[in-house]
Amino acid sequence: MKTYIDEAGQTGSDIMSTDQPIFVMAGVMLNTEQERVILKTLDEQFNSCKEATETEIKGSSWSKSAKKSIALQTIIEEILRQNGDISIIIFEKRFMAGAMIVDNFFDYVYNDIEDYKWVNNRDAKIEGANYFAERMSDQLGTKVWDLFRTPQPPEAFGPVIEELLHITDNAEYRSLLEGAKPHIKELVDDLYGTHTVSTPLDSISNSTKRAPNFSGFNRLVEMLVPHCLMNGQTTELIVDNQYQFEPAYRCLFDLFRGIQKPVIPLGPKPDQCLYSWNGVVTGLTHADSKVEKGLQLADIVASSVNSMMLKTQRGDMSKFLELDLFNMALLHSLDSACHTVHYVVSKPFFIKYMDAVQDFSTRIDKVCAKSSYIRAKMK
């Protein structure tokens, strides 16, 4: 099998861009025959809709066109018709900024208050990240991202903590933010100080490790591995060229392939475990989507889901296309039947999305009725 991986919503250093507050990474896993048939459909749809200057399908632009979006839906339906496997990770960048506040300032190692729940209690950490994500302005969110992505002096942290205190009325969170102040130098030293490089991952910059691409790639493959184990499959990873992240992806590949124990429990729940990639993920290659056309399939999924999610968050319901309704049904079917959708988003974000699903439920049902492949996935 080959798994093609691409993303949508990458904004580089402008991480809190108001134009692109969402990041989506998608993987499409296919065998040789599935790929042959699906790429034939991709070529047919491209040739029927392409502009004179276009050399390949770009999901970000095609998902905005009524005619071209039908072509994208046809291609995704063909992936389902051929029993291809789709995995999707959806990140809200604002929520990730909220999580950075909790992970760093609330950590007992860097706080006067030694409360271990901020290391061990996943629900408490999510609640805290939700709290700050809901209250932060875009400007403050950008400042938080900058603190933890690029080297900053200790003096840069104090003003940001003061701004966080200004928006915080929760007594516990206020105490933790105050408790972090005396430990900023220790935190900065651990984040950006000179350390002995003990693993290849230590040589990867914070800006790379904090980016959604890094955790998205890790989580996406962690969803693929148990699926492969269950079906007796192996897969090679083909990732779209992203030179900033290639060394980091290689480090993760080598690290997880080096784990000898197949499964390592991390908590009491079945999904709280770590899978070895050894014997399952057979290779990692970076390629151009013009050469490896399968990457265009992953781009189509990631870009069209990203476009739909943006509309739900902005309330652009009048701009909904049938492709958007189709992708709502797709996410539901993949999440409920295959467990290959993962959301890293705030509670308000998810409520907005589910409200949109509810508002469009009748139209989504009609789309599902036309697509036997969506219905099959949902069974």
| pLDDT tens column, 154-178 | 999 999 999 999 999 999 999 999 9
Instruction: Tell me, yes or no, whether 48 and 141 share the same domain.
Output: no
Locate 31 and state its tokens: 């065998």
Q: What's the total number of domains in the chain? A: 2
Tens digits of per-residue pLDDT, 315-365? 988 889 999 999 999 999 888 877 889 999 999 999 999 999 999 988 888
Query: Which percentage of the chain shows pLDDT scores above 90?
Result: 72
88, 105: one domain: no
Q: Residue type for 236, please? A: E
Digit-coded pLDDT (tens) for 196-212: 666 777 788 888 888 99
226 and 315 fall within a common domain = yes
Q: Are residues 300 and 325 in the same domain?
A: yes
How many angstroms separate the CA atoms of 238 and 241, rounded? 9
Statement: residue 377 has pLDDT above 60: no
pLDDT given for residue 317 in this prediction: 83
Q: Is residue 204 part of a domain?
A: no
AA letter at 333 = S
Return all residues near 353 (Cβ < 8 A) that are at least 6 apart.
309, 312, 313, 345
Note whether 81 and 227 are same-domain residues: yes
pLDDT of the residue at 218: 94
Say if residue 85 is in the same domain as residue 225: yes
Residue for token pair 């108001």 = 18
Does any domain span residue 197? no
Residue range 88-99: mean pLDDT, rounded: 96
Residue 49 near residue 240 (C-beta atoms within 8 A): no
Query: Parallel, antiparallel, or unpaired for β 235-240 and 2-8?
Result: parallel
Based on its alpha-carbon atoms, the radius of gyration of the chain, rounded to whole angstroms, reads 21
Residues 356 and 273 in one domain: yes
Using alpha carbons, list the distances in angstroms from residue 161 to 158, 288, 322: 5, 42, 45
> Do residues 242 and 320 share a domain?
yes
pLDDT value of position 260:
87
Q: Is residue 283 pLDDT above 60, yes or no? A: yes
Strands 281-287 and 235-240 come out as parallel
Give the long-range contacts of residues 354-357, CB within 8 A, separation 24 or more.
355/312, 356/311, 356/312, 356/317, 356/328, 357/328, 357/332
Please, what's the b/e burial string for 90-105 (b: 16 or more CB within 10 A of its CB; e: otherwise)? bbbbbbbbbbbbbebb
155/64 same-domain check: no
Residues 359, 262, single domain; the answer is yes
For the chain, the helix, strand and coil percentages under 3-state DSSP, each to the nearest 5: 60, 10, 25
- CA separation for the pair 46, 87 (Å, rounded): 23
Query: What's 348's domain CATH number?
Result: 3.30.420.10
Q: Which of 168-177, 248-257, 362-371 has the lowest mean pLDDT?
A: 362-371
Range of the domain at 40: 2-92+210-378
Q: Is residue 205 in some structural domain?
A: no
The pLDDT score that the predictor gives to residue 17 is: 82
**pLDDT value, residue 196:** 60
Distances (CA, A) of 264 to 49, 88, 305, 347: 48, 23, 32, 29
Residues 239 and 368 in one domain: yes
Q: Which of 324, 337, 360 is nearest to 80 (CA)?
A: 337
The pTM score is 0.92
Whether residue 340 contacts residue 61, with contact meaning beta carbons closer than 8 Å, is answered with: no
Note whether residue 202 is domain-resident: no
pLDDT band at 270 (very low <50, low <70, confident <90, very high): low
The residue-averaged pLDDT of 15-19 equals 82
Residue 22: inside a domain, yes or no? Answer: yes
- As a whole number, the mean pLDDT across the chain is 91
- Which one has a higher pLDDT value, 257 or 265? 257
Closest CA to 213 of 190, 243, 185: 243
Confidence of residue 264 (pLDDT cuts 50, 70, 90): confident
Does residue 101 lie within any of the structural domains? yes
In this predicted structure, what is the pLDDT of residue 57? Answer: 93
Is residue 113 located within the same domain as residue 143? yes
pLDDT at position 139? 93
CA dist 148 → 19, 271, 361 (Å)? 22, 28, 40
pLDDT interval class at 375 (50, 70, 90) = low
Q: Is 80 within 8 Å of 300 (Cβ atoms)?
A: no
- CA dist 290 and 296 (Å) reads 8
Length of the chain in terms of residues written: 379
Give pLDDT, residue 144: 95
Domain presence at residue 321: yes
Q: Which of 192, 223, 241 lies at the terminal end of a domain, its last residue?
A: 192
> Domain for residue 11, yes or no?
yes
Q: Is the pLDDT of residue 368 over 80?
A: no
